[in-house]
Structure 1
Amino acid sequence: MINYKDKENIILTVGRLGSYEKATEIIMEAFKIASEKLPDWKLKLVGTIEPGFNEYINNYLYKYYPKLQGRVIFTGPIYDRKLLMEEYKKSKVFCLTSRVEAFAQVFGEAAFNGNYIISSDVEGAIDITDDKKYGDIFQINNFEELSKKLISTCSNEKLLEQVCNDIQINTRDNFEWIKICEKINSFF
């Protein structure tokens, strides 16, 4: 079990940054708005960066919002699973902004590591958050709605601590393959 006291004020996203499907610009625009109310929080983006997205990043960090330098962090891809899990362990909130998604592997990774999950309204979001019990869902492409959810969530330390523990238990009980297979096997 991940201890909440070991976590940092980090909002994490993991994926193909800048691809149309992943809608990375939505989390960046939402964080720009939320950052004023969350001065002690960082946004960490893990993954490969689509070549066409570099111009957007440069404009965002150096031209339009230079005060977010050091608070919006691009790590690049992390292929070592152990190092990737460390990123989840450190973060308090995981955010998925996809326009299209099946049940994303990142959902399970984030939940297993005690992250409060904020997701666009894609497949699997309602399941991993247990009908918003362990997270929240926003309308696809709506960065203003996401910014409000980031502010309210990141400002509620008690909620984040409670969900950190509860989502780990829920994930281990309902999303581990061994338990799922045992459940299926019991039907035969």
Structure 2
Amino acid sequence: MSKKIAFICSVESYKLSEAHFFKDLCLVPILLGKYLNYDVSILTTELNESVLHQTFPSVKFEHIPFEGNFEANMNAYLMEHAQEIDIAFAIGPYPSYLSMLKTYKHYNQNGKIYMKLDVNRYWLSRLMTYSYFEELLQVCDLVTSECESIQTEINSVLNVDVKLIPNGYYEYFPTEPVAFDQKKNRILTVGRLDAPEKQIKFAVNAFLAAELEDWEFRLVGSMSDQFKQELNAMLEGSPHAKQVVIVGPIYDKYLLEQEYRQAKIFCLTSTVECYAHVFAEAAKNGCYIISTNVDGAYDITKNQRFGKIHPIYDWENIGREMKRAAAQEVVLANTCEEIQKFARADLNWEVIVKRIADLLDE
């Protein structure tokens, strides 16, 4: 009988969207299963099975009813099927996981639990006050953090051994490294642009203040009509308004890749992140990174070797950094080469899952 990996969803993540299929919570168990040649199942209430199977045809969806009590329903499933699961994957140290993972271990003592933390500094500060947190981590066979600072803090306080595994990028199609002369004078940001924590208006203010005559600031991602109107109102009257290009969402993976490949600088002005996936995409495509001091920023820039980090909300200094970086063509060119080497060696999910398999001793 084939070995099996199961992604056990928590109460807090029982409904998976199509976007989740290409993020860490689904990619890690799916690619780990591919590497180890294990069957993979996703245990949850709702997902688009047809879309999942377009990219990952062998992954199975096991329906766990949400009605009544999802946690109780998951525990009932695990009582019956835990022996069939060799590795249980969980993401985020949510309270509902404690009973689920204890049930799994009770009915399969030889099974292994991998907990990917996916926490930022603010969530961690709350978690440290909850009694269940350390108990949950001690149930797991492998616990990993995306950021070195989070790993260090947990290991220094709790009786656990958290390992460091960053977030990576997934190649939908093979790509070659980007030559710097293929890039354009572009600063790029990608994400849910109207999300308050993304602080896109601060980023736009920074770019306008930088007064870069021959550069574009390209905004890629979804936003509401109201937010778009607010942005246009901000730009009205600015001599650099036409250089701020509201691209909108890009669903075509090839076209999105081109945005990264053509940008010289990637800018992130969020108030909170946990090693944003866009960091790895930008690094893989040779972008110099300007970021606020969010979790993962020091990791991806190698302590500012590949970019600069500024305090949250400090759009004035981010604007000055845009101006400085744009004038340093040699720095941008060297970063383009070096950050790609780092990312392509260490941040491809196909590479990362091999390290996870080693840590699981599989």
Q: 2:288 aligns with which of 116, 122, 139?
A: 116
Q: 1:42 aligns with which of 209, 216, 219?
A: 216
CA distance in structure 2 between the partners assigned to 1:108 and 1:148 by the alignment: 24
Which is higher, the Rg of structure 1 or of structure 2? 2
Return the offset for 1:123: 1.0
CA distance in structure 2 between the partners assigned to 1:137 and 1:144 by the alignment: 13
Q: 1:5 aligns with which of 181, 184, 190?
A: 181
User: Are 1:16 and 1:50, in contact at CA under 8 Å, matched by a contact in 2?
Assistant: no
Q: 1:175 aligns with which of 323, 347, 356?
A: 347
Q: Which residue is 2:201 aligned to?
A: 25
Matches within 5 A, 1:49-128: 49-62=223-236, 64-65=237-238, 67-128=239-300
The residue type paired with residue 224 of structure 2 is: E
CA distance in structure 1 between the partners assigned to 2:273 and 2:338 by the alignment: 25
Return the offset for 1:157: 0.1
User: Are 1:18 and 1:52, in contact at CA under 8 Å, matched by a contact in 2?
Assistant: no
CA distance in structure 1 between the partners assigned to 2:283 and 2:219 by the alignment: 17
The residue type paired with residue 339 of structure 2 is: I
CA distance in structure 2 between the partners assigned to 1:17 and 1:51 by the alignment: 11
Deviation digits for residues 27-51 of structure 1 (CA, Å, limit 9, x no counterpart) = 101011102xx21111010111134
- Secondary structure of the residue aligned to 1:109 is helix
Return the offset for 1:18: 2.5
Fraction of identical pairs, as percent: 39
Q: Which runs of 5+ in 1 are unaligned?
A: none
- Secondary structure of the residue aligned to 2:313 is coil
Return the offset for 1:60: 1.8
Runs of 4+ in 1 over 4 A off after TM superposition: none
- Secondary structure of the residue aligned to 1:70 is helix
TM-score by length of 2: 0.49
User: Are 2:213 and 2:240, in contact at CA under 8 Å, matched by a contact in 1?
Assistant: no
Return the offset for 1:177: 2.0
Task: State the Cα RMSD in Å.
Answer: 1.3
**How many residue pairs end up in the alignment?**
184
Return the offset for 1:95: 0.2
User: Are 2:210 and 2:320, in contact at CA under 8 Å, matched by a contact in 1?
Assistant: yes
Deviation digits for residues 96-136 of structure 1 (CA, Å, limit 9, x no counterpart) = 11111111111111111000011111111111111111111
User: Are 2:178 and 2:261, in contact at CA under 8 Å, matched by a contact in 1?
Assistant: yes
TM-score by length of 1: 0.93
CA distance in structure 2 between the partners assigned to 1:56 and 1:91 by the alignment: 25
Highest RCO, 1 vs 2 (Cα 8 Å, sep ≥ 6): 1
The residue type paired with residue 28 of structure 1 is: V
CA distance in structure 2 between the partners assigned to 1:128 and 1:170 by the alignment: 9
Q: Which residue is 1:161 aligned to?
A: 333
